[in-house]
Amino acid sequence: MTHIPKIIIKTIDPGNQRFGEVGDWFFDAEDNTITVFISRIDDWRSEIAVAIHEAYEAVACLAADVDQTDVDAFDKNFYLTHDSGEAGDDKAAPYFEQHKSATFIEQEVCSQLNLPWLKHSANCDDL
Protein backbone atom coordinates (compact mmCIF):
# COMPACT_ATOMS: atom_id res chain seq x y z
CA MET A 1 0.00 0.00 0.00
CA THR A 2 1.66 3.21 -1.13
CA HIS A 3 -1.24 5.55 -0.40
CA ILE A 4 -4.19 5.31 1.93
CA PRO A 5 -7.19 3.83 0.13
CA LYS A 6 -10.36 5.71 -0.58
CA ILE A 7 -12.90 4.76 2.10
CA ILE A 8 -16.62 4.70 1.34
CA ILE A 9 -19.13 4.15 4.15
CA LYS A 10 -22.58 2.83 3.28
CA THR A 11 -25.45 2.32 5.71
CA ILE A 12 -27.54 -0.69 4.73
CA ASP A 13 -30.43 -2.78 5.99
CA PRO A 14 -29.15 -5.33 8.56
CA GLY A 15 -30.63 -8.17 6.49
CA ASN A 16 -28.25 -7.29 3.65
CA GLN A 17 -25.06 -7.91 5.62
CA ARG A 18 -23.04 -10.81 4.20
CA PHE A 19 -22.44 -12.61 7.48
CA GLY A 20 -25.14 -11.14 9.73
CA GLU A 21 -22.70 -8.79 11.44
CA VAL A 22 -23.39 -5.15 12.21
CA GLY A 23 -20.43 -4.06 10.09
CA ASP A 24 -18.40 -5.41 7.20
CA TRP A 25 -15.75 -4.21 4.79
CA PHE A 26 -14.60 -5.01 1.29
CA PHE A 27 -11.31 -3.97 -0.35
CA ASP A 28 -11.14 -3.42 -4.09
CA ALA A 29 -7.42 -3.48 -4.90
CA GLU A 30 -7.98 -2.34 -8.48
CA ASP A 31 -9.62 0.90 -7.34
CA ASN A 32 -7.68 1.08 -4.05
CA THR A 33 -11.05 1.48 -2.30
CA ILE A 34 -12.39 0.13 0.95
CA THR A 35 -16.17 0.00 1.17
CA VAL A 36 -17.55 -0.25 4.69
CA PHE A 37 -21.09 -1.55 5.13
CA ILE A 38 -22.82 -0.54 8.37
CA SER A 39 -26.24 -1.80 9.43
CA ARG A 40 -28.81 0.87 10.14
CA ILE A 41 -28.88 1.41 13.90
CA ASP A 42 -31.37 3.62 15.76
CA ASP A 43 -28.52 5.61 17.35
CA TRP A 44 -26.24 7.39 14.87
CA ARG A 45 -23.41 7.29 17.41
CA SER A 46 -23.34 3.51 17.20
CA GLU A 47 -23.32 3.69 13.41
CA ILE A 48 -20.26 5.95 13.35
CA ALA A 49 -18.46 3.91 16.04
CA VAL A 50 -18.95 0.72 13.99
CA ALA A 51 -17.96 2.52 10.77
CA ILE A 52 -14.69 3.69 12.30
CA HIS A 53 -14.05 0.19 13.68
CA GLU A 54 -14.53 -1.38 10.25
CA ALA A 55 -12.49 1.25 8.40
CA TYR A 56 -9.58 0.91 10.82
CA GLU A 57 -9.78 -2.89 10.81
CA ALA A 58 -9.65 -2.94 7.01
CA VAL A 59 -6.64 -0.61 6.81
CA ALA A 60 -4.86 -2.52 9.60
CA CYS A 61 -5.44 -5.80 7.74
CA LEU A 62 -4.03 -4.31 4.54
CA ALA A 63 -0.99 -3.00 6.41
CA ALA A 64 -0.38 -6.44 7.97
CA ASP A 65 -0.95 -8.30 4.69
CA VAL A 66 -4.00 -10.09 6.08
CA ASP A 67 -5.84 -11.20 2.96
CA GLN A 68 -9.52 -10.35 2.76
CA THR A 69 -10.35 -13.78 1.33
CA ASP A 70 -8.93 -15.31 4.53
CA VAL A 71 -10.99 -12.90 6.65
CA ASP A 72 -14.15 -13.66 4.69
CA ALA A 73 -13.61 -17.43 4.79
CA PHE A 74 -13.04 -17.34 8.54
CA ASP A 75 -16.11 -15.17 9.13
CA LYS A 76 -18.33 -17.36 6.95
CA ASN A 77 -17.24 -20.52 8.75
CA PHE A 78 -17.50 -18.89 12.18
CA TYR A 79 -21.08 -17.76 11.67
CA LEU A 80 -22.09 -21.13 10.24
CA THR A 81 -20.72 -22.96 13.29
CA HIS A 82 -21.42 -20.50 16.14
CA ASP A 83 -24.74 -19.23 17.46
CA SER A 84 -23.25 -16.24 19.24
CA GLY A 85 -20.12 -14.18 19.55
CA GLU A 86 -18.13 -12.14 17.08
CA ALA A 87 -15.75 -13.79 14.64
CA GLY A 88 -12.96 -11.27 15.18
CA ASP A 89 -12.92 -12.01 18.92
CA ASP A 90 -11.87 -15.61 18.22
CA LYS A 91 -8.10 -15.90 18.72
CA ALA A 92 -7.98 -18.14 15.64
CA ALA A 93 -9.23 -15.28 13.44
CA PRO A 94 -6.57 -14.24 10.91
CA TYR A 95 -7.37 -10.63 11.84
CA PHE A 96 -7.66 -11.08 15.62
CA GLU A 97 -5.07 -8.39 16.47
CA GLN A 98 -6.51 -5.92 13.97
CA HIS A 99 -10.02 -6.53 15.30
CA LYS A 100 -8.87 -6.11 18.89
CA SER A 101 -7.28 -2.74 18.05
CA ALA A 102 -10.38 -1.67 16.11
CA THR A 103 -12.57 -2.52 19.10
CA PHE A 104 -10.35 -0.39 21.35
CA ILE A 105 -10.81 2.53 18.95
CA GLU A 106 -14.57 1.86 18.75
CA GLN A 107 -14.76 2.05 22.55
CA GLU A 108 -12.94 5.38 22.53
CA VAL A 109 -15.29 6.76 19.86
CA CYS A 110 -18.26 5.75 22.02
CA SER A 111 -16.68 7.42 25.03
CA GLN A 112 -16.06 10.64 23.12
CA LEU A 113 -19.66 10.64 21.85
CA ASN A 114 -21.02 10.09 25.38
CA LEU A 115 -22.36 6.66 24.43
CA PRO A 116 -21.87 4.07 27.18
CA TRP A 117 -20.33 0.85 25.85
CA LEU A 118 -23.16 -1.28 27.23
CA LYS A 119 -25.72 0.95 25.47
CA HIS A 120 -23.70 0.73 22.23
CA SER A 121 -23.53 -3.06 22.54
CA ALA A 122 -27.30 -3.19 23.11
CA ASN A 123 -27.86 -0.95 20.06
CA CYS A 124 -25.82 -3.36 17.93
CA ASP A 125 -27.45 -6.48 19.38
CA ASP A 126 -31.00 -5.15 18.88
CA LEU A 127 -30.91 -5.43 15.09
Q: Confidence band (pLDDT; 50, 70, 90) for 90?
A: very high
CA angle 71, 28, 110 (to 5 degrees): 60
Model confidence at 40: pLDDT above 90: yes
pTM of the model: 0.95
For residues 49-57, average pLDDT? 98
Model confidence at 2: pLDDT above 90: no
What CA–CA distance (Å, rounded) separates 28 from 69? 12
DSSP 8-state secondary structure symbol assigned to residue 13: -
Do 38 and 13 contact (CB within 8 A), yes or no? Answer: no
